[in-house]
Amino acid sequence: MSQIIDVKVPDIGDFTDVPVLDQFVKIGDSIKVDDPICTLESDKATMEVPCSATGLVKEVLFKPGDKVSEGTVLIRVESQAAASTKTPPAQPASSPTETASGAVASAAIAVAVPDIGDFTDVPVIDIFVKVGDVIKVDDPICALESDKATMEVPSTAAGTIMAVLVKLGDKVSQGHLLLQVEGKAGTVAVAAPAPAAAPIPAPSPSAPPAPVKASPPPVAAAEPGRALGALVHASPSIRAYARELGVDLTRVSATGPKKRILREDVIAYVKGVMSGTISGPTASASGGVTGGGVLDLLPWPKVDFAKFGEIEVKPLSRIKKISGQNLSRNWVMIPAVTYHEDADITDLEAFRVQLNKENEKGGGAKLTMLAFLIKACVKALQKFPEFNASLDGDNLVFKKYFNIGFAADTPNGLVVPVVKNADRKSVFELAQESGELAKQARDGKAKPADMQGACFTISSLGGIGGTYFSPIVNAPEVAILGVNKSVTKPVWDGKQFQPKLILPLSLTADHRVIDGALATRFNVYLAQLLADFRRVAL
């Protein structure tokens, strides 16, 4: 027997009277649970409203421009089955239990936001899962974006998703429940910070948004052969950003997980159009706007590698995925220049070796070149405060503290632990602390708080080799020092060549804050400090 179901605007947070931007349904359409009905756009966010019923659209009670709030009826759907509405069951969390037959029963597992350092009330900018998805431990659930970092929250449980307890724009902190997963015993990786026995709140009536549909481009028609409104996957903030720049998202190549368009993808597209490597939409002779030509940004090449030989496919580690996004953004957005310098560390290395010999007897921590570099960099940052600053819109924020990040190579990828208040620590303390932080990072035990708050970063490849390289600035910092292996070289002293131990320095700086003269002064001063470490005490 059929029934008519009112599909209403779900809980959309504090928003009321939100204008409808796009309408995706009409009378007579067949619609399923999670199909998008319309897009709403407040001054803060763009939200897509998914359908909560399956059936035939009998009435559409809104049009673009209408203002709606939670509870406004959008469409009426004629449904054949009573079970066609989406009511994810709310089950109390419980431990997996044995049935009488001895089989392991499935259990509701609460997945919560893990320790995310000092961050609280961090907005959810993307959700990668929906009710019914089968999820594994470590699969990404959602992306959180603070003003400092974008973080992907991995699942700590495996099973079928029974309820998604967050929606785009929600602000979450450690312990906030994200999912209710029906899993089996042994499928929970790490206990979520929320107590396991905590009752799981009833799922919010708002289903997670279905994949987003592109809004009609503000200035350009779609290119030939590409339908307007083709499916694109992007968070509301990215869609708002694209609209601000007049970018048609259907033209942008996505590099994020599940073909999600990232901010840097939009920037890369705009840069491509500006530099002429991508042809943007152009006005046609008829006054309309047409698509691009042969220089359109090509999608990432899809090659069937197996055609050419044996292959093995391994997913990128979570660290690589997250750092990859940060590195791409920093590479694209920062006009950076790398400046090279050679430091004569003959005396410093002899001093370090001597101290380590003395220290060996006392069993103290080994003094590393990294510790001396941190100390010297702090002194140089104090002399050149622009290097200890960050851009914030049109302002430059000068920091009065000296936290130094250092790149550490770990089996899972690159991480950057931070030595806090390095100006207040001795070289011995810096060596000990950086050694401990590097070990924790390599063991996968580094805490988020240990990787936040850096003012300046050192990337030392000295233990590996190399001559010079171009490190990428770690935004919102404005400079990074790269160091390679020191080698003995002949240096002319005015009368003869002398063998000197030379440390190659590569300083990359954000040209918006630091020009070439300042960067070179910094490098020269740093080299002086390293050549005669007594200067650090002055």
| Catalytic residue annotation | 511
- Does position 462 interact with ligand CAO (CB under 6 A)? The reply is yes
Closest to ligand CAO by CB, 180 vs 432, is 432
- Does position 407 interact with ligand CAO (CB under 6 A)? The reply is yes
Closest to ligand CAO by CB, 118 vs 360, is 360
Among the listed residues 480, 510, 247, the one whose alpha carbon sits nearest the alpha carbon of residue 392:
510
Closest to ligand CAO by CB, 222 vs 446, is 446
The residues near 274 (Cβ < 8 Å, ≥ 6 apart) are none
User: Taken in order 195, 200, 206, 208, is the CA torsion positive or negative?
Assistant: positive
Q: Rounded to whole angstroms, how far apart are CA atoms 363 and 341?
A: 35
- Does position 409 interact with ligand CAO (CB under 6 A)? The reply is yes
* Angle made by CA atoms 9, 142, 272, in degrees to the nearest 5: 100
Residue nearest to ligand CAO (CB): 462
Closest to ligand CAO by CB, 299 vs 465, is 465
Closest to ligand CAO by CB, 181 vs 343, is 343
- Does position 154 interact with ligand CAO (CB under 6 A)? The reply is no
- Does position 406 interact with ligand CAO (CB under 6 A)? The reply is yes
- Does position 404 interact with ligand CAO (CB under 6 A)? The reply is no
Q: Which of 52, 187, 459, 506 binds ligand CAO (CB under 6 A)?
A: 459
- Minimal distance, residue 465 CB to ligand CAO, in Å: 8
Tokens of 302: 């899809």
**Amino acid at position 127, single letter:** I
- Residue 485: C-alpha distances to residues 73, 203, 238, 459 (Å): 68, 56, 42, 12
What DSSP designation does 510 have? E
- Does position 319 interact with ligand CAO (CB under 6 A)? The reply is no
**CB neighbours of residue 206 within 10 Å:** 20
- Does position 457 interact with ligand CAO (CB under 6 A)? The reply is no
What DSSP designation does 387 have? G
- Does position 486 interact with ligand CAO (CB under 6 A)? The reply is yes
- Minimal distance, residue 421 CB to ligand CAO, in Å: 19
Q: Would you give the binding string for ligand CAO spanning residues 351-380, x where CB under 6 A is met?
A: -----------------xxx----------
Closest to ligand CAO by CB, 215 vs 506, is 506
What DSSP designation does 252 have? S
Segment near ligand CAO (CB under 6 A), from 97-105, 184-192, 194-202, 461-469? 461-469
Q: Rounded to whole angstroms, how far apart are CA atoms 415 and 14?
A: 37
- Residue 491: C-alpha distances to residues 119, 342, 349, 503 (Å): 50, 11, 17, 13
Which residue(s) pair with 110 in the sheet? 180
- Does position 485 interact with ligand CAO (CB under 6 A)? The reply is yes
Q: How many residues bind ligand CAO (CB under 6 A)?
A: 19
Q: Which of 471, 502, 523, 527 binds ligand CAO (CB under 6 A)?
A: 471
Q: Rounded to whole angstroms, how far apart are CA atoms 69 and 13?
A: 10
- Does position 503 interact with ligand CAO (CB under 6 A)? The reply is yes
- Does position 199 interact with ligand CAO (CB under 6 A)? The reply is no
**CB neighbours of residue 366 within 10 Å:** 14
- Residue 69: C-alpha distances to residues 10, 64, 236, 345, 413 (Å): 8, 14, 18, 67, 45
Closest to ligand CAO by CB, 215 vs 460, is 460
- Does position 322 interact with ligand CAO (CB under 6 A)? The reply is no
- Does position 50 interact with ligand CAO (CB under 6 A)? The reply is no
Longest dimension (CA), the chain: 103
Cβ-contact 316, 324 below 8 angstroms: yes
- Does position 242 interact with ligand CAO (CB under 6 A)? The reply is no
Phi first, then psi, for residue 205 (nearest 5°) are -65, -15
User: Taken in order 118, 124, 128, 130, is the CA torsion positive or negative?
Assistant: positive
Q: Rounded to whole angstroms, how far apart are CA atoms 298 and 310?
A: 27
Q: Which of 463, 490, 499, 516 binds ligand CAO (CB under 6 A)?
A: 463
- Minimal distance, residue 457 CB to ligand CAO, in Å: 9
Cβ-contact 438, 397 below 8 angstroms: no
Q: Which of 23, 187, 452, 460 binds ligand CAO (CB under 6 A)?
A: 460
- Minimal distance, residue 425 CB to ligand CAO, in Å: 15
Closest to ligand CAO by CB, 148 vs 366, is 366
Q: Which residues bind ligand CAO (CB under 6 A)?
A: 368-370, 406-409, 414, 438, 459-463, 471, 483, 485-486, 503
